[in-house]
Amino acid sequence: MCWKTLLKEHEGFGHGVRSVLNNRAPWRSKIIGVVADLFKVEDKYAVAMETALGAALQNIVTRDADSAKAAIKDLKINKSGRATFLPLDTLRIRDFPERHKAVLHANGVLGCGC
């Protein structure tokens, strides 16, 4: 099965992640998706991105911290596993540090995935 199909069907994702994504509770409407679903990358870079992001591909992005807390509560009550949440209202955007920008000109570097 190809990488795109695995992501589409969330095969290989943790039980908790799949439980959240399949839940029908009211808080579910504020779940945006998993990191893997939220960006597109050319096929030739897919393995590189998957390697760079690793388990973070399964992190669940939510509109706010309250929906993440509700999902966590649901996971605990139903003993449905664990998941990592990224509530948009609490995330801080960080700039690419100036001291690291030199690496973008190194031999073999194609660019920044940021």
pTM above 0.75, yes or no: yes
Tokens 């449905």, residue located: 80
Phi and psi, residue 89, nearest 5°: -75, -5
In the three-class reduction of DSSP (H, G, I as helix; E, B as strand; rest coil), residue 60 is classed as strand
- Decide: 48 and 21 in contact? Cβ < 8 Å: no
Spell out the domain ranges in the chain.
Answer: 3-105
pLDDT grade for 1, boundaries at 50, 70 and 90: very low
CATH number of the domain located at residue range(s) 3-105 in this protein: 1.20.1060.20
- If one counts every other C-beta atom within 10 angstroms of the C-beta of residue 94, the result is 7
User: Is the confidence at residue 11, as pLDDT, over 80?
Assistant: no
Q: For residue range 65-104, list pLDDT tens digits in order.
A: 999 999 999 999 999 999 999 999 999 887 777 777 888 8
